[in-house]
């Protein structure tokens, strides 16, 4: 039986792109076997599936291949790259919000690419902003994240980002007004993405459509047409899991004196020792403490 990728789900139908289909060829409209819903595991956009064709030219999804990842908000499977789009000016770069996004990315087990936009807005004489951006780039690169500087008007970074997306199923997220749409339009003029930006004030995504869709890219790969991580309130994250979402904490935590160390006050804490030596950025640790408290306060409310 044929196999393919679910690129859209709408009104009980799943639109499958056959593995053997050429770029631009139409998808097959499918229903799913009822057993999936009975088990509480219906197909998702991004699922690799086996399907069989029916007499009316449609199809039936008969098998869902194992998933490498599964997001709850938005509901999409097998995303393997999250592109976090943050501007350096208008609005200014928010490392607190960036770290919050990174925590969610790490918790979901995805790769992350930090994309710094609007580099063209930094005036030549604005050395302070340029130095702040350079320090941020060095910080996150040292932790192990990919960081790319871009400018839609200048075309800066467009080729590198386009190459990075080849073969990936990626989702774009970021703070409001960062120029995400402009960036995507500059790279892929033929795309007609309906995504809206993430609301910084509400921490929720505004979207002009209610369904998730994978948009095929020239050269291979897909972008999820979705507002991305639509809530950043740590609902799926326990306080014990937070430290593992800070990459630089993980190798240190193994040497802490106490098992289950919170890295906030315990003697013999390797994270606190590294902080004192300047091996962990003060901004990252400050955000860790703030997120730690936020999760604890949420638990008390519920």
Q: Scanning the structure block, which residue is given the tokens 């941020």?
A: 136
29 marked as binding residue? no
178 marked as binding residue? yes
176 marked as binding residue? yes
115 marked as binding residue? no
pLDDT of residue 156: 87
175 marked as binding residue? yes
Residue 194 lies in a domain: yes
87 marked as binding residue? no
180 marked as binding residue? yes
* DSSP letter string, 251-279: HHHTT-SSTT--SSS-TT-HHHHHHHTT-
| Residue 118 vs residue 205, higher pLDDT | 118
Per-residue pLDDT band for 36 (boundaries 50, 70, 90) equals very high
pLDDT of residue 193: 53
Residues 81, 58 within the same domain: no
The domain spanning residue 284 has which CATH number? 1.10.40.50
179 marked as binding residue? yes
| Mean per-residue pLDDT of the chain | 87
pTM: 0.85
| Residue 298 vs residue 10, higher pLDDT | 10
40 marked as binding residue? no
Residues 108, 202 within the same domain: yes
Mean pLDDT of 1-10: 95
Residues 83, 131 within the same domain: yes
Q: In total, how many domains does the chain have? A: 3
Residues 83, 57 within the same domain: no
Residue 252 lies in a domain: yes
Point out the least confidently predicted range of 120-129, 130-139, 188-197, 249-258.
188-197
Question: Could you report the per-residue pLDDT of 67-89, keeping only the tens digit for each?
Answer: 999 887 778 899 999 999 999 99
pLDDT above 70 (res 22): yes
Q: How many CB atoms lie within 10 A of CB 207?
A: 18
177 marked as binding residue? yes
Residues 91, 220 within the same domain: yes
The domain spanning residue 22 has which CATH number? 2.40.50.140
| Residue 185 vs residue 130, higher pLDDT | 130
pLDDT of residue 265: 96
| Residue 176 vs residue 9, higher pLDDT | 9
Residues 80, 210 within the same domain: yes
Cβ pair 156, 122 in contact under 8 A: no
| Chosen domain end from 14, 35, 66 | 66
Spatial CB neighbours of 140, under 8 Å, sequence gap ≥ 6: 98, 114, 147
Per-residue pLDDT band for 157 (boundaries 50, 70, 90) equals confident
Residues 60, 155 within the same domain: no
Residues 135, 271 within the same domain: no
Mean pLDDT of 271-277: 98
| Residue 210 vs residue 52, higher pLDDT | 52
Question: Could you report the per-residue pLDDT of 175-197, keeping only the tens digit for each?
Answer: 767 777 777 777 777 665 544 44
Q: Which long-range contacts (CB under 8 A, 24 or more apart) does 11-16 make?
A: 14/43, 14/49, 14/61, 16/49, 16/51, 16/59, 16/61
Spatial CB neighbours of 265, under 8 Å, sequence gap ≥ 6: none
Residue 71 lies in a domain: no
| Chosen domain end from 33, 66, 99 | 66
Residue 154 lies in a domain: yes
Residues 100, 198 within the same domain: yes
Cβ pair 155, 187 in contact under 8 A: no
Spatial CB neighbours of 210, under 8 Å, sequence gap ≥ 6: none
Question: Could you report the per-residue pLDDT of 237-268, keeping only the tens digit for each?
Answer: 899 999 999 999 999 999 999 999 999 999 99
119 marked as binding residue? yes
Range of the domain at 17: 3-66
Per-residue pLDDT band for 300 (boundaries 50, 70, 90) equals confident
Residues 220, 259 within the same domain: no
pLDDT of residue 215: 86
Residues 176, 246 within the same domain: no
Mean pLDDT of 145-161: 89
Residue 233 lies in a domain: no
Distance separating alpha carbons of residues 137 and 50, to the nearest angstrom: 43
Residues 205, 102 within the same domain: yes
The domain spanning residue 155 has which CATH number? 3.40.50.300
187 marked as binding residue? no
Residue 100 lies in a domain: yes
207 marked as binding residue? no
Residue 232 lies in a domain: no
Residue 230 lies in a domain: no
Per-residue pLDDT band for 47 (boundaries 50, 70, 90) equals very high
| Chosen domain end from 225, 257, 273 | 225
65 marked as binding residue? no
């Amino acid at each position: 039986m044929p196999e393919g990728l679910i690129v859209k789900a709408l009104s009980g139908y799943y639109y499958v792109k056959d593995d053997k289909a050429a770029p631009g060829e139409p998808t097959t409209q499918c229903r799913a076997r009822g057993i999936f819903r009975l088990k509480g595991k219906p197909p998702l956009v991004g699922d690799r599936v086996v399907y069989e064709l029916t007499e009316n030219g449609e199809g039936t999804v008969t098998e869902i291949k194992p998933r490498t990842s599964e997001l709850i908000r938005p509901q999409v499977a097998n995303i393997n790259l999250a592109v976090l789009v943050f501007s350096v000016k208008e609005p200014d770069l928010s490392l607190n919000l960036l770290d919050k996004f990174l925590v969610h990315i790490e918790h979901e087990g995805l790769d992350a690419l930090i994309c710094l936009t609007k580099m063209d807005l930094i005036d030549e004489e604005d050395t302070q902003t340029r130095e702040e951006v350079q320090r941020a780039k060095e910080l996150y690169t040292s932790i192990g994240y990919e960081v790319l500087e871009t400018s839609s008007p200048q075309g800066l970074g467009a080729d590198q980002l386009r190459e990075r997306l080849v073969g990936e199923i990626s989702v774009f997220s970021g703070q409001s007004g960062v120029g995400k749409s402009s960036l995507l339009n500059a790279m892929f003029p033929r795309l007609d993405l309906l995504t809206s930006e993430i609301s910084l004030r509400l921490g929720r995504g505004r979207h002009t459509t209610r369904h998730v869709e994978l948009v095929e890219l020239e050269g291979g790969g897909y972008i999820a047409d979705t507002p991305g991580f639509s809530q950043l309130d740590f609902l799926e994250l326990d306080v014990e899991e937070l430290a593992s979402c800070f990459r630089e904490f993980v190798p240190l935590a193994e040497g802490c004196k106490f098992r289950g160390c919170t890295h906030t006050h315990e003697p013999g804490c390797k994270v606190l020792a590294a902080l004192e030596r300047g091996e962990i950025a003060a901004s990252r640790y400050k955000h860790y403490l703030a997120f730690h408290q936020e999760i604890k306060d949420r638990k008390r409310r519920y």
